[in-house]
Each structure stands twice: as C-alpha cells, then as structure tokens.
Chain A
Amino acid sequence: MRLVASLGEAWLVLVMSLVFGALLAAVQAGWGARIDQNKENDARGRVPLLVHGADGALTPPGEDLEVKDERGMRLYRLYRAMRKGAAAPEQIGWVLKAKGPGYADTIEVLIGMDLAAERLTGLDVLAQNETPCLGNKIREDPWRSQFREKAVGAVLSATKSAAASANEIKAISGATISSQSVCDIVNQATADFSSKLPGLRGRKD
C-alpha cells in the first residue's frame, strides 16, 4: 500500500526519467560519433600543418605508435605524417605529441620533425592553462614559428633578449617560465626519440 502510494506520488518523476533517458540516448546516437571524431581530429588534424610539403596529407589512425614506461603510462604518441604518393601514401615526416609541466599546469605540444629526424619542422600547442594574455601567447604562430629549422638534439633555451645563437628562442616578455617549459618539453622529447626514429622509419605496420 505504502509502495503504491509513493509510486503514485512519484509517477511524474518516473515518466520524465524515461522520456529524458530516451531523449539523451537519441542525442548520444546522433552526435556521439561526431564528438569522438572532433576529439580525434584535434591532434590528428594539425599534423599535416607541422611538416613540410604535406598538402592535405593523411595520417591514418592505425599508423600511430605509442611509447610507454614500465608502469604502462603513455609517455609519447608518435604520428606519421604522410603525403598522397603516386602509388601509395609515402611518409614525409614525424609528429610527436609530448607534454610536460608548464608555469600553471601541464602543457601538451605537437612537435613536427622531418623524415630523417634532423630538423624540427613545426610546433603546435594542443592544451595549456597558462596565464591569459601572457603565457597564453605560446599558442600564437609568431612565437611558435621560432622552432622551425632548429636542429633536433640541440638543447633549446629561452632568452629574454633576442635569440643570438641557433639554440636560443626569444621568450615571451613576462612569460619566461612558460617559454622555457615549452623548450624543456621539446628538448626532452627530441632527446628521447632522435636516436630511435631512423630505426622505426622503414617499418611497415
């Protein structure tokens, strides 16, 4: 009796739960695939922009490589940058997704390298939570373009004055730590991979 009475009170909530459950299931069915695609394309879509001569290159999902440490935590993700060749897609570069500590939070970057892994071809910032209007500027193209044509394996450092040698990047004024953090991430990533990449280049998946 008590159960029936409380059901009578709560029938509206139950009906609404069913209706909205169905509505949300429809939303998931309709937009779910699109959202997953957006998440995936966020990194993959930027890969062609980071290597030379990409001209609308494809980076098929199955070609990614991952490097994990002993605990199974993913350290880096490696994308192959491809170009539509005459017969089959040919690889023209590497793009490495790396992350490290920044001034405020973790910074996630994509580092583009040429096929021989001798020169950097580009840098893109995927995720950062740096200070707005100051450290935020690491996202902007003028600052990022400094990384092009740097030698892989060179220890980059951010300087307040104009970049003097080939190993220096001009830091964003007022955001030296953010700039140096990006340099540290690039240094660590290229140091870990510059010797391993040529061995991986010729592999077929």
Chain B
Amino acid sequence: MASDGPTPLERFINGILPENPLYRQVLGTCPSLAVTGNMKAAMTMAGAVAFVLVCANIMTSLIRSFLKPHLRILVFILLIAAFVTIADRFLAAYMYEMSKELGPYVPLIIVNCIIICRCEVCAAKQGVLPSLTDALGQSAGYALALASLATVRELLGSGSWFGIQLFWGEGAEQYRWVLMGQPPGAFLTLGLLMGLSVWISQVWGRRTKPRVSG
C-alpha cells in the first residue's frame, strides 16, 4: 500500500516547489492577484486557504469509500462551501479589519481550483495521513507563492513590508512605483515571477541531469 505513489513526506515536499499550486499548476490565480497588495492580507488569505484545504482533504478522505461517481463533485463543493463559510465568519468575528480588506475574496476560496483539484486527485483516493500531508504541502507552497508576490508588490508599491516602513524620506515618497498596488502591476509581477520560476526549474533540471543519467 505504501509503495504506490509518493510517501506522505514526499507529498509534503512536492507541494512546496515542484508542484507549487500557483507557479506550476497555475491554479488559484484569482485571489493571488487580488490580495497580494500587502503581506498582511496575503498571509491571512494563505491561512484561510490552508484551513479550508486541510479540513476538506481530511473530511474527503474519511468519507472516500461512500463517494458515488456522479455525486462526487457535489459532495466536495458542499464540504468546501461549509468550511469557507466558517473561515469567513471567523475572520469577520475576530479580524474585522482584515475581513473588510479581503472582502469577497474569502468566499471565492470555494471556487478556488486548488482545493477541488486536491480533493479530486489526492484525498478521494488516499488515506487520512497522505491527504493531510498533501494539503499541508500545497498550503505551504501557496503561502510561499503569495508571499513572493506580496513582497515584490508591497516593497515596490509602498516601500513597506508587513506594514513596517522600510524606505522613508522624500525620495522614497516620490519614487514609489504606485502601479504595483493596482491591477496592471499585479499581472505584470505574476507574469514575470512565473517566467522566473520556469527558468529556475529549467536551470535546476539542467544541473541535476548529468548526475541522474547513468
């Protein structure tokens, strides 16, 4: 049973870079462009996605033997929608300012392709532990992707990181790249970072190839 497919630990590591949900699988682009204006919002969103992904994966793998083929997607969506509602209400109750800033993008986690994809591909077929590590790995990878995007946008756009002002003075006020806080900057940043990630993986592949081939 343990020999088919990657081990739980490998699943966890896979989710971070090799199968990164944003850069490799190009899933979940909607919220990653919307909330990465600053680090705080990005990390809150990453936390919410992690919560929903872990809960949905665990529940799906617990009920996987009862899933009928044509009602599968319905069950996934019901699960995910319930957990997203809980996450959204939690934010509204305990982090009201952040809830206002994230706005409608927290409910949009329901249609975030990452979660449905993971439930379908992994949790519906594996036990609880592999599903859990897979969810944790994908969440970590997504958080990393959001952090990279938000760092670039916040540093260039407002000269701060996590709200802490890093560049100050008259020059910093004038030479801020304001476009980074707006939609065009988001698209440009993600496009360039995606190109960067592809290039890194190509270079990595070239470097490790001679060692693999015998």
Q: Does A associate with B in a complex? A: yes
Which residues of A come within 8 Å of B, CB atoms? 9-10, 12-13, 16-17, 20, 23-24, 27-28, 31, 34-35, 38-39, 42, 131-134, 136, 174
Tell whether, in the assembled complex, residue B178 and residue A174 are in contact, meaning their CB atoms are under 8 Å apart: yes
A38 to chain B, nearest CB (A): 4
**Could you tell me which residues of chain B, from 168 to 191, have a CB within 8 Å of some CB in chain A?**
176, 178, 180-182
Tell whether, in the assembled complex, residue B86 and residue A23 are in contact, meaning their CB atoms are under 8 Å apart: yes
A35 to chain B, nearest CB (A): 5
Q: Could you say which of B37, B75, B96 contacts A12, with CB atoms under 8 Å apart? A: B75
Q: Could you say which of A9, A13, A39 contacts B78, with CB atoms under 8 Å apart? A: A13
Given contacts A31-B93, A133-B157, contact A12 B86 (CB under 8 A): no
B121 within 8 A of A: no
Tell whether, in the assembled complex, residue B68 and residue A12 are in contact, meaning their CB atoms are under 8 Å apart: yes
- Chain B: interface size category: 20 to 34
Which residues of B come within 8 Å of A, CB atoms? 37, 63, 66-68, 71, 74-75, 78-79, 82, 85-86, 89-90, 92-94, 96, 157-158, 176, 178, 180-182
Tell whether, in the assembled complex, residue B68 and residue A35 are in contact, meaning their CB atoms are under 8 Å apart: no
Q: Could you say which of A24, A28, A134 contacts B178, with CB atoms under 8 Å apart? A: A134
Residues in B neighbouring A134, C-beta threshold 8 A: 178
A19 to chain B, nearest CB (A): 9
A71 to chain B, nearest CB (A): 28
Given contacts A35-B92, A38-B93, contact A16 B79 (CB under 8 A): yes
A25 to chain B, nearest CB (A): 11
Residues in B neighbouring A132, C-beta threshold 8 A: 37, 157-158, 178, 181-182
Residues in B neighbouring A17, C-beta threshold 8 A: 78
Tell whether, in the assembled complex, residue A16 and residue B158 are in contact, meaning their CB atoms are under 8 Å apart: no
Q: Could you say which of A12, A24, A133, A136 contacts B71, with CB atoms under 8 Å apart? A: A12
What is the chain B residue whose CB lies nearest that of A23? B82
Tell whether, in the assembled complex, residue A12 and residue B89 are in contact, meaning their CB atoms are under 8 Å apart: no
How distant is the Cα of A42 from the Cα of B99 in the complex, in angstroms? 12
Tell whether, in the assembled complex, residue A38 and residue B96 are in contact, meaning their CB atoms are under 8 Å apart: yes
What is the chain A residue whose CB lies nearest that of B90? A31
Tell whether, in the assembled complex, residue A9 and residue B178 are in contact, meaning their CB atoms are under 8 Å apart: no
Given contacts A133-B157, A134-B178, A174-B178, contact A13 B71 (CB under 8 A): yes
What is the chain A residue whose CB lies nearest that of B176? A133
A39 to chain B, nearest CB (A): 8
Interface of A is mostly: helix
Tell whether, in the assembled complex, residue B68 and residue A9 are in contact, meaning their CB atoms are under 8 Å apart: yes
A10 to chain B, nearest CB (A): 7
How distant is the Cα of A39 from the Cα of B100 in the complex, in angstroms? 10
How distant is the Cα of A31 from the Cα of B94 in the complex, in angstroms? 9
The 7 A-B residue pairs with the shortest CB-CB distance, nearest first, are A132-B181, A31-B93, A20-B82, A38-B96, A133-B181, A34-B93, A133-B178
Residues in B neighbouring A34, C-beta threshold 8 A: 93-94
Tell whether, in the assembled complex, residue A10 and residue B182 are in contact, meaning their CB atoms are under 8 Å apart: no
What is the chain A residue whose CB lies nearest that of B37? A132
What is the chain B residue whose CB lies nearest that of A10? B71
How distant is the Cα of A34 from the Cα of B90 in the complex, in angstroms? 10
Residues in A neighbouring B78, C-beta threshold 8 A: 13, 16-17, 20
Tell whether, in the assembled complex, residue A13 and residue B96 are in contact, meaning their CB atoms are under 8 Å apart: no
Tell whether, in the assembled complex, residue A12 and residue B92 are in contact, meaning their CB atoms are under 8 Å apart: no
B184 to chain A, nearest CB (A): 12
Residues in A neighbouring B90, C-beta threshold 8 A: 31
What is the chain A residue whose CB lies nearest that of B68? A9
Tell whether, in the assembled complex, residue A24 and residue B86 are in contact, meaning their CB atoms are under 8 Å apart: yes
What is the chain A residue whose CB lies nearest that of B91? A35
Which of A10, A13, A132, A134 has the most chain B CB atoms closer than 10 A to its own CB?
Answer: A132
How distant is the Cα of A24 from the Cα of B89 in the complex, in angstroms? 10
Residues in B neighbouring A35, C-beta threshold 8 A: 89, 92-93, 96
